[in-house]
Each structure stands twice: as C-alpha cells, then as structure tokens.
Amino acid sequence: MSPTRALHIFVLLLFSALFAQAQKQTATNASSNAETALRFAQTGKCGEAVPALKSALQNVRGKDLKRKVALAGVRCGMLSNQPNAAMDFLRVLNRDFPDDPEVLYVTTHIYSDLSTRAAQQLALKTPNSPQAHELNAESLEMQGKWDLAEKEYQTILQQNPRAPGIHFRLGRLLLSKPNPPPTVADDAKKEFQQELEIDPNNAGAEYVLGELARQAQQWDEAVQHFSQAAKLDAGFGDAFLGLGSTLISQKKFADAITPLEKAVKLEPQNPAAHYNLATAYVRTGRKQDADKEFEVHRAMMQKTAGPEQQPPANPQQ
C-alpha cells in the first residue's frame, strides 16, 4: 500500500471516529436537555417547560423519552393556557404513537377540554349570536329537552329566516321527540322541504325525505330523494342503501345491484347493506355472489346478536 493511500485511509478513520463521538455527544446533550425540561414540567414550571420541551422534542431520539416529552408538553401547554403548543405536541404523539392507549386517552380529553373552552367563550362573548343559540339547542337536544331546543332554533330563524341548516335540525328534532303527534311525518317533511329551498345541496334533508317516503311506501318519491342525496354526497352510504332497498321493494332487482354494491363498499360493516345486496343478487340469478353476501351478513348478525338469534332466511330458500 502506498504512503498516500495509507494516509487517506487514516484520515477517513479519524473523521469517522470524530463523527461518531459528536453524534454520541449530541444524543447525550439531547437526553440531558429532555430530562431538564421534564423536571420543569414535573415541578409545575410550565411557563419554562413548554419552550424547553419543544426544543428537546426536536433532538431526542429514544421513543420512550420522546413519548414522555410530548405527553408532558401536552399537559403543560393546557395548564399554562397555550392550547396551540399543546396541539403541536399532540400531533407528534398521534403521528408517532397512534395506537398507544395513553395517547388516545389524552387526545380524547384534550379535544373535549378545547371544545368546552370554545363553548364557554362563545356563550360569554356572543351570547345572542346564531351560533350560540344553535350550540345551546344542540345541548338541550342531548338532554332530551325538545321544546326548549325548538325555541332556540326558532330564535335563530327569527334573526335570519334563511339560516342554513336550521330547518333540517327542526325536522330532525320533530322526528326524535317521544310520543309524537300523528302529523309528525308531515310536519317534519315541511321542515326538510324548507331546508332544501334554502340549501338545495343538503344531502341529509334529501335522505330523510327519502326515508319518510319509503316508510309511506311512496316508492317513486323515495327513489328520487335517495338518488339526489347520493348525487350530492358520493360518500353517503345510507343514501345508496336506501335507494337500493327501495328498488328492491319495487322488484327492480337488477337496478338495485349498483347502488347496493356502492353501499357495501362505503359501509362494509353494515349488515343491512350485505343482506339487501344478497337479495338483489339472488333475485337476478347470481346465486354464488348471493351466498357470499348472505354468509357475511350471517356472520355479522351472530357476532352482534349471538348465535341464539337466527338471521333472516335466504329469500331463495
């Protein structure tokens, strides 16, 4: 080996050793900085902890230490009223530890806390705004206080008769009330129709109108509304299912296959979609495809209801 080549090799080895030593020192420093930041967080010094934790998170390598730093950052961010910083840490946790139970638990509470804070600010700063009334109405609905919720929605309409979404919510509320009057379907239908006059792109209103027509066995009207809902929202699985099941009721089995295949694709865990598709298959002579769908439906029903409850029989049998 020539002296020049030997010198080159020596220089490369030297730089390699120096680089490895520098990396080791960087990792040691990052770990030390992370531990210091964690001590700030553990002793309640969140004002100092948040920037220190942010800095440490950029350089720390070990997954366990990274997880500890990010969790501490979320908690300190919320405690020190720095929600944006908390969300930065939370995004790191959900990216790097998506299946971690503690990460999922913390995520649930952070979003809940942020939601509560925003609701309090809305009620405090703009209590008479349509948004405040709508949020209050939603809360009242969840408590089953239907009449009070209806008054809140009506207040919004008094402020703005063409407020989008409100007639839809009123129609939904009417259908949700216990012990509804005999006119409930017609009353709700009027609300959904008014909603479509304001917002013709409301797929939800089209869908519910389709359901009301289907329940009344007004098949052509149901097909019209379900088709429009599916057209407005290509990912609306229930609209495709409603369309397909209505076509089955009309004995248009071949026409029902396409929307029902779409429903199964969009909602693979919906047993009704599989059962209706199987029915359409069997009525059009596609026995093998039908058997597969019936088997999927049967397995779902046994899993959710137990083997003692028998699923519906194959219509061909």
Confidence of residue 15 (pLDDT cuts 50, 70, 90): very low
Is residue 301, in this structure, part of any structural domain at all?
Answer: no
> What is the mean predicted confidence (pLDDT) over 27-46?
69
Residue 40 lies in a domain: yes
Q: What's residue 60's pLDDT?
A: 78
CA 80, distance to chain mean position in Å, is: 29
Domain, as residue range, for 43: 30-122
Mean pLDDT of 185-210: 97
Tokens of 222: 């149901």
* Confidence at 26, pLDDT banded by 50, 70, 90: very low
Q: What is the Cα–Cα distance from 293 to 274, expressed in whole angstroms?
A: 5
Q: Is pLDDT of 29 > 60?
A: no
Mean pLDDT value across the chain? 87
Query: Is residue 176 in a domain?
Result: no
- Between CA 178 and CA 296 the distance in angstroms is 35
Q: What is the pLDDT of residue 7?
A: 45
pLDDT tens per residue across span 117-175 = 899 999 999 999 999 999 999 999 999 999 999 999 999 999 999 999 999 999 999 99
Q: Is the pLDDT of residue 21 over 70?
A: no
Q: How many domains does the chain have?
A: 1
Percent of the chain predicted with pLDDT > 90? 67
**Lowest mean pLDDT segment, chosen from 38-47, 105-114, 164-173, 230-239:** 38-47
Of 283, 285, 284, 281, which Cα lies nearest the Cα of 297?
Answer: 281
This prediction has a pTM of: 0.75
The confidence score (pLDDT) of residue 110 equals 93
d(CA 193, CA 225): 11
140 in any annotated domain: no
Indicate the angle between helix axes 101-125 and 83-96, nearest 10 degrees. Answer: 150
Q: Is the pLDDT of residue 308 over 80?
A: no
Length of the chain: 317
| The predicted structure's pLDDT at residue 205 | 98
* Rounded mean pLDDT, 105-117: 93
* SS3 annotation, 19-43: HHHHHHHHHHHHHHHHHHHHHHHHC
pLDDT at residue 82 is higher than 60: yes
pLDDT digits (tens, 9 = 90+) for 223-242: 999 999 999 999 999 999 99
Predicted confidence band at 43 (pLDDT cuts at 50, 70, 90)?
confident
Tokens of 210: 């389709």
Measured distance CA(229)–CA(211) in Å, rounded: 11
Q: Is residue 54 part of a domain?
A: yes
Average pLDDT over every residue of 184-201: 97
Residue 249 within a domain: no
d(CA 167, CA 153): 8
CATH (domain of 35): 1.25.40.10
Look at residue 24 in the predicted model and tell me its pLDDT.
42
List pLDDT tens digits, range 280-289: 999 999 999 9
pLDDT tops 60 at residue 106? yes
Establish if 36 belongs to a structural domain. yes
pLDDT at 72: 87
Once rounded to an integer, what is the mean pLDDT over residues 246-261? 98
pLDDT in tens, 269-279: 999 999 999 99
34 pLDDT higher than 90: no
Concatenated DSSP letters for the chain?
Answer: --HHHHHHHHHHHHHHHHHHHHHHHHHHHHHHHHHHHHHHHHTT-HHHHHHHHHHHHHH---HHHHHHHHHHHHHHHHHTT-HHHHHHHHHHHHHH-TT-HHHHHHHHHHHHHHHHHHHHHHHHH-TTSHHHHHHHHHHHHHTT-HHHHHHHHHHHHHH-TT-TTHHHHHHHHHHHSSS--TTHHHHHHHHHHHHHHH-TT-HHHHHHHHHHHHHTT-HHHHHHHHHHHHHH-TT-HHHHHHHHHHHHHTT-HHHHHHHHHHHHHH-TT-HHHHHHHHHHHHHTT-HHHHHHHHHHHHHHHHHHH-TTSPPPPPTT-
Task: Assess if residue 149 is contained within a domain.
Answer: no
